[in-house]
Amino acid sequence: MKNEEILFQRALNLAPLTAAEGLKLFQEASTPDLVWVADSLRQIHKPGNVVTWMIDRNVNITNICISGCTFCNFHRKINGEGTYTTTMEEYHQKIDQMIQLGGNQLLLQGGMHPKYGLKFYTDLFSELKIKYPEVKLHALGPPEVVHIARKERISFREVLEKLMASGLDSLPGAGAEILCDRVRKEISPGKASANDWLEVMKEAHQLRMLTSATMMFGHIETPLERMEHLVKLRDLQALKPDDSPGFKAFIPWPFMSEGTLLGKSLEFKSILPIDYIRMIALSRIMLNNFENIQASWLTVGKETGQLALHAGANDLGSIMIEENVVSAAGASFSMDAWQMQKCINDAGFIPQLRNQAYEFINLPEGVRKYAVAQ
């Protein structure tokens, strides 16, 4: 029996593979084999023919950020041109439109503003919850939590507790990039270290907060560092309390290079569809304690997203009523609710609307339903 066949059998038994073993599969396993094993594992974790999706809106609190990420075209320095902080009137307009389109979750991405401390965010969340108590706030991320904790000189846990008390419902896995300090020092020098990112998520899990995990790949990281990233997430998931939701999903996406400092500094070759499919499959194989793997159709396109559903992914994420960050670096794909349902059905699956907790919900009134072929 070949070494990769032994590894595949262990993976199918839900045994945790090491980063070195993941690297071996990355280097030696064929794409059809990776896809078959990942699809089989998907059926173990999420049996059936349902693929989930959701309706939400991504609003940027501000585009002022001191993290210095070389892969980001969106951020501005505090005295730069085109800076903004979203006003409450603008929030109301955006949320009202989202509700009309059937959404009930706001993804709030922060940016590490040098002057905004904990009170700014707790006041914002509280005011939004008073006006829209039914809207879920999926907001900030570990780098912003670390930034606020340093600014206020308090612990990560204290920041999270106060944010939760003011209305924060769940914590995105933003800012993970690659959980390796060698990489982070070069591409995001002002952001949280890999250990700090993991510590924030550990505290969130201890507080029974719903979280997600991400990976941005295809830049300066090595294949082994990708596998180490997956192992770190898996190991942290294993530590969560039994009654904590922990990481509800993993979302990998390729680095979008258009116009970025990082893209200009590399002899850059875009991630090909087959590379993305292999990474989705390896994510499913390595993350033996994750239920949901989400395909990033926004960055790879509808067709590659559909293929990913046959390679271990069981979710296509949101229709993304609004998105500004990766779009600023070249992501240009879009879908409305009807197109999302059709996309899933055309791939051979049954579309099912969900919330952030991956609970099935009915299509809201006014959202056009696609006639699913049974």
Give me the pLDDT at residue 368, please: 82
State both tokens at 286. Answer: 């390595």
**What is the spatial distance between Cα 309 and Cα 145, in angstroms, rounded to a whole number?**
33
Q: Which helix (H) or strand (E) holds 293?
A: strand 292-293
Q: Cα dihedral sign for 61, 63, 65, 70?
A: positive
pLDDT bracket for residue 373 (50, 70, 90)? low
Return the SS3 of 350.
Answer: strand
Q: Average per-residue pLDDT in the chain?
A: 90
Long-range contacts of 344-347 (CB under 8 A, 24+ apart): 344/51, 344/53, 344/306, 344/309, 344/316, 345/370, 345/372, 345/373, 346/306, 347/51, 347/306, 347/307, 347/309, 347/310
DSSP, res 106: E
Tell me if 255 sits within 8 A of 235, measured CB to CB. no
Q: Return the higher-pLDDT residue of 329 and 6.
A: 6
State both tokens at 64. Answer: 């002022």
AA letter at 146: V
Percent above pLDDT 70 for the chain: 91
The alpha-carbon radius of gyration of the chain (Å, integer) is: 20
Counting Cβ atoms within 10 Å, is residue 288 exposed (0-12), middle (13-18) or buried (19+)?
buried
Give me the pLDDT at residue 75, please: 67
* Whether residue 371 has pLDDT greater than 90: no
- What burial letters (b/e) apply to 102-119, b meaning 16+ CB within 10 Å? bbbbbbbbbbbbeebebe
| Per-residue CA distances from 342 to 280, 300, 313 (Å) | 22, 17, 17
Record the pTM: 0.92
Tell me if 326 sits within 8 A of 298, measured CB to CB. yes
Alpha carbons within 13 angstroms on the beta-carbon side of residue 214 total: 17
* Whether residue 374 has pLDDT greater than 70: no
State both tokens at 255. Answer: 């680095």
**What is the spatial distance between Cα 138 and Cα 56, in angstroms, rounded to a whole number?**
10
Instruction: Count other Cβ atoms within 10 Å, centred on residue 78.
Output: 12
Tell me if 354 sits within 8 A of 360, measured CB to CB. yes
Instruction: Count other Cβ atoms within 10 Å, centred on residue 306.
Output: 20
pLDDT bracket for residue 327 (50, 70, 90)? very low
277-288: pLDDT as tens digits? 999 999 999 999
Of 288, 292, 195, 313, which is closest to residue 234 (Cα–Cα)?
288
Give me the pLDDT at residue 76, please: 73
Segment 143-157 shows an average pLDDT of 96
- β-strand 105-109 against 136-139: which pairing, if any? parallel
DSSP, res 328: G
If you write DSSP's letter for every residue of 175-208 in order, what string do you get? T-S-S-HHHHHHH-TTSPPHHHHHHHHHHHHHTT
Tell me if 127 sits within 8 A of 88, measured CB to CB. yes
245-263: pLDDT as tens digits? 999 999 999 987 666 656 6
Structural domains present in the chain: 3-353 (3.20.20.70)
Number of H helices, E strands in the chain: 15, 10
**What is the spatial distance between Cα 22 and Cα 15, in angstroms, rounded to a whole number?**
12
* Whether residue 53 has pLDDT greater than 80: yes
**What is the spatial distance between Cα 205 and Cα 5, in angstroms, rounded to a whole number?**
35
Tell me if 107 sits within 8 A of 172, measured CB to CB. yes
Tell me if 226 sits within 8 A of 190, measured CB to CB. no
DSSP, res 62: B
